[in-house]
A and B are shown apart, each in its own frame.
Chain A
């Protein structure tokens, strides 16, 4: 029995004014002319709700780079989905936000790159971006919408986590996501410049714990810890094809937004199939679903149904085999690769390869290892 999905990630476009070097988009970015049209997205939202999705995350790229964003919010809302806009905030003013609220928007998740403006603008590769984000955050709370701040953290901003927490409180955010960079795609290419030190990580974890205790009733803090310091993998997506699906700007229906980094897949296309057919019957969704596909040491492991073998994209990026155990697990024969990456990063500089079309080859940046 295949359980229905809980949430849909709709990556509406890969266009984005920011150039964050840890972007979760694939290194091969979709061109605007290849994007799915409004009517097809509206059908996808209705099918997602019918299939069992309760929430939709409207993301990108920068979702508000689409001129039909209001129509898309309305379609998602009318389908009965809880509608979350994941945005950089730099393209929206108060008037446009009001229109989105009128269209049924339920929640805004705003990214920040740092608490310190010069550093934030350097990391995002967009001058003046930080100031515009703060202005947009004030529009969100003035409109009465709940606000989540999303801070992707790494070596070059982690020391200012206490200031980022203070910023979330100052802006009236009800939630703060502190997400350590996940190393696929662009972030993998920038791993040496982004990887935090153990001392930074420990200080950040302590700062999160202290802030949770101090601001219990005002601010919920979600904390995503970095795999490279872990001994057990994360339960990526809650298991492949179990809780979550994504649609790429070009209409590919994916078990995870990074899945197109994996070779040998024919992902279903929303333009030619239904979401239900993709979810229940496609080879792509069934390939790593459940535990039957698992190799040693996952097969038979007591945690097989807790972490579901970890992340397929990380397994492929680091070992060249998408069906291998996630190297984040200490039981993986490839676990030592993570320690080597930490040593490399410790000796590396701070320069970024910014996220721009054509900057990186479509193929994964990391060669397979034996």
Chain B
């Protein structure tokens, strides 16, 4: 994934609030996974138009953190989720 990539949830994957267990979950074909706080924050920013670079900008501002570090962290996390078939770019 590059800064220009536009990551989004893969077809068939849905981010949902799981009120009964007070958490958010990603639902897919006969599976689910519970994102940690950081993954959830990133997944919520996937709207099909924001680029990876734009997501890094948003989070770098939100946490007053260095852009390049944030970008590298997000790219690693999204690469991992892409390997699991949760996101595509």
Task: Please report A residues at the B interface, Cβ cutoff 8 Å.
Answer: 4, 6, 51-52, 54-55, 57, 80, 82, 84, 106-107, 109, 144-146, 148, 174-175, 217, 220, 222
| B11-19, B37-45, B50-58: which lies at the interface | B11-19
Beyond known contacts A54-B32, A146-B11, A146-B29: 7 more, CB 8 A cutoff = A52-B18, A52-B21, A55-B32, A82-B14, A82-B28, A109-B30, A148-B29
Task: Please report B residues at the A interface, Cβ cutoff 8 Å.
Answer: 10-12, 14, 16, 18-21, 25, 27-30, 32, 83, 85
Name the residue on B nearest A217 (C-beta): B83
**What are the residues of chain B within 8 A of A109 when measuring CB–CB?**
29-30
Q: Are B14 and A51 in contact, CB atoms less than 8 angstroms apart?
A: no
CB distance from B41 to the nearest CB of A (A): 21
- State whether A148 and B21 are in contact (beta carbons under 8 Å apart), knowing that A80-B16, A217-B83, A220-B85 are contacts in the complex: no
**What are the residues of chain B within 8 A of A80 when measuring CB–CB?**
16
CA distance A110 to B83 in the complex (A): 24
Q: Are A175 and B29 in contact, CB atoms less than 8 angstroms apart?
A: yes
**What are the residues of chain A within 8 A of B25 when measuring CB–CB?**
54
CA distance A146 to B25 in the complex (A): 18
**What are the residues of chain A within 8 A of B18 when measuring CB–CB?**
52, 54
**What are the residues of chain A within 8 A of B32 when measuring CB–CB?**
6, 54-55
List the 4 closest pairs (A to B, CB-CB), nearest first.
A52-B20, A146-B12, A82-B27, A107-B29
CA distance A107 to B11 in the complex (A): 9
